[in-house]
């Protein structure tokens, strides 16, 4: 069967726009979270977020294929810009391709546009003015997916939306991988997008899941996660085709494991059964043994329960030989539906650079998280195989294996 490789990366996250900036910042352990500046948080207890700053959609996008940039919401702008970046990085012209698979993970979409505007929404719906209703339509995931197809003039695309919370973009990557493996598509555009939303921030405040300062995954004094935003998309391609056209290959998608244990609406199973199964399935599909994994890109949210449970899963799989494990969320926060794609992009850049990024803000060892979490400083090491975890509410568990692509 076909091998699936990654030939393009489009990255927009707090502190970094583009792969070079992301790698420079993450490898140095720089933190880009802080008090919200562009979101009116009112009197919310915790107002620490990860914001994409200095992003002007006009600098990255222009009107085309009947899409007017001035009408785009925050999520749409981030997604289109990241996809455009990935396409340019891959040196593909999607308008000349057919049967492109397109999958996006998302949760909040453009909710920021209508928050605290109940009266306005009722007025819009009563008037049924086409332009006004467009504002309502923008919050629907299908609207964003349709816009992607139209903006890039995709011919006969095969689209799919994943809204299963923080595992969504890992599911999108796995779906695109399957489309190429089965010969349905030669190219897949996969990833996710999130725009900061007061709904999300309020929800996590109510769950008491937020840190009042910084995210400290695996540290004993960790206090919670940071809600964040961004968009990351990958171009997946059949390997032989990519090689023939001389494409740059970041790495290979070797396998994945997906599953829903449906244990609890928010809490993970204490025995980590769902996470364990997803990792085992990913290794089996990749035909790899646990001792062949060099590094783990952790879900690592910084909450007491999630980090502890993830360590249970890792120790069940690897025993006392858990590979070095770190969390990018310590630096940019939790991008929700984009988290899997962020982990994927970082994993591929680590494979290229033979260097692993640190877990920033680490202060105290925790007996319940007794692993090498690469505290505070990046580390040079030879890398061949990486697993990237993304776990979500509702028991949605996912793991993807990325490997250094062989030349032949």
Q: Which two tokens stand for residue 357?
A: 């990024």
Enter the DSSP assignment of 54: S
Q: With residue 349 as reference, give the H or E element that holds it.
A: helix 339-353
Residue 362 has a CB neighbour count (10 Å cut-off) of: 24
The DSSP line for 129-140 is -HHHHHHHHTTS
β-bridge partners, 12: 17, 231
- At 380, is the secondary structure helix, strand, or coil? strand
Rounded distance, CA 111 to CA 387, Å? 32
* Residues designated catalytic: 166, 299, 334
C-alpha dist (Å) from residue 80 to 23, 109, 349, 361: 21, 13, 22, 32
Q: Which two tokens stand for residue 10?
A: 């489009």
Q: With residue 171 as reference, give the H or E element that holds it.
A: helix 168-181
Q: Which residue has the tokens 């980590």?
A: 272
Tell me whether strands 187-194 and 101-105 are parallel, antiparallel or unpaired.
parallel
3-state helix, strand, coil in the chain (%, to 5): 40, 20, 40
Rounded distance, CA 259 to CA 395, Å? 8
Rounded distance, CA 327 to CA 29, Å? 11
Question: Which stretches of 313-392 are assigned E, i.e. beta strand?
Answer: 325-326, 355-356, 379-380, 385-392
Residue 220 has a CB neighbour count (10 Å cut-off) of: 14
């Amino acid at each position: 069967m076909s091998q699936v490789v990654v030939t393009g990366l489009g990255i927009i996250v707090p502190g970094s726009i583009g792969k070079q900036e992301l790698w420079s910042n993450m490898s140095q352990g720089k933190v880009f979270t802080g008090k919200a500046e562009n979101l009116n948080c009112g009197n919310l207890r915790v107002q620490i977020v990860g914001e994409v700053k200095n992003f002007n959609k006009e600098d990255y996008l222009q009107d085309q294929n009947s899409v007017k940039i001035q009408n785009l919401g925050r999520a749409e702008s981030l997604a289109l810009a990241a996809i455009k970046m990935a396409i340019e990085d891959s040196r593909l012209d999607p308008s000349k391709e057919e049967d492109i698979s397109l999958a996006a993970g998302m949760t909040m979409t453009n909710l920021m546009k209508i928050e605290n505007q109940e009266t306005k929404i009722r007025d819009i719906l009563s008037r049924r003015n086409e332009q006004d209703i467009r504002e309502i339509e923008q919050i629907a995931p299908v609207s964003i997916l349709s816009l992607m197809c139209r903006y890039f003039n995709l011919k006969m695309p095969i689209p799919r939306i994943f809204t299963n919370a923080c595992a969504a973009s890992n599911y999108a990557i796995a779906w695109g991988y399957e489309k190429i493996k089965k010969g349905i598509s030669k190219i897949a555009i996969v990833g996710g997008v999130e725009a900061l939303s007061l709904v999300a921030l309020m929800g996590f405040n109510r769950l008491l899941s937020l840190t009042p300062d910084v995210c400290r995954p695996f540290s004993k004094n960790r206090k919670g996660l940071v809600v964040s935003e961004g968009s990351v998309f990958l171009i997946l391609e059949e390997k032989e085709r990519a090689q023939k056209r001389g494409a740059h290959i970041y790495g290979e998608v070797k396998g994945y494991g997906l599953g829903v244990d449906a244990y609890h609406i928010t809490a993970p199973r204490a025995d980590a059964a769902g996470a364990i199964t997803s990792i085992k399935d990913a290794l089996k599909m990749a035909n790899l043994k646990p001792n062949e994994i060099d590094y783990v890109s952790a879900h690592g949210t910084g909450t007491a329960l999630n980090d502890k449970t993830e360590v249970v899963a890792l120790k069940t799989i690897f025993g006392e030989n858990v590979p070095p494990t770190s969390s990018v969320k310590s630096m940019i926060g939790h991008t929700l539906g984009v988290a899997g794609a962020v982990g994927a992009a970082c994993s591929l850049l680590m494979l290229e650079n033979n260097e692993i990024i640190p877990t920033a803000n680490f202060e105290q060892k925790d007996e319940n998280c007794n692993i090498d979490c690469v505290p505070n400083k990046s580390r040079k090491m030879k890398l061949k195989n990486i697993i990237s975890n993304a776990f979500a509410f509702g028991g949605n568990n996912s793991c993807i294996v990325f490997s250094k692509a062989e030349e032949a």
